[in-house]
Amino acid sequence: MYCPKCGSKMQEGATFCSACGAKMEGESKVIITEKAESWSTEDILSVASIAAGALGLLLALLVSVWFGYILGGGALACALIVRKKNKNNQKALIGLIVSIVTLVCSLIAHIVAIALLASFGDLMGDAFSFFMNMMN
């Protein structure tokens, strides 16, 4: 560490600067301790957001894209509420990303499903007219 007054290098944790004799103020002596992590409402909402987003993505791909929309939308709302209260909440940021991924994936899956159904319908239509032509 360096003396804040004269800038000379000094021993780690020293109380006085050996060059100018300045007394070290609190901040340089304070041992930075991580605050014990406790679960706040924000954390619970954030984790719920991550869980709902992930579950929504899974159900959207396995069952129905509507699960993705509903759970992803709920997850996004939770994450946004927390982010509005506390911009530094990392869990809420993850929830935000997960929920957006879920919503985007659901939308893509929905579009793909519609496109597949449409092309399947066309195929059936083609097959139908093909057989009808065969008959005639």
Residues that bind Zn ion (CB under 5 A): 3, 5-6, 17, 19-20, 22
Cα–Cα dist 133/130, whole Å: 5
Nearer to Zn ion, 22 or 107 (CB): 22
In whole angstroms, the minimum distance from the beta carbon of 13 to Zn ion comes to 15
Amino acid at 1: M
CA distance 131 to 127: 6
- 3 vs 65, which CB is nearer to Zn ion? 3
CB of 4 to Zn ion, least distance (A): 8
Residue closer to Zn ion (CB basis): 20 or 97: 20
Give the largest Cα separation in the chain, rounded: 109
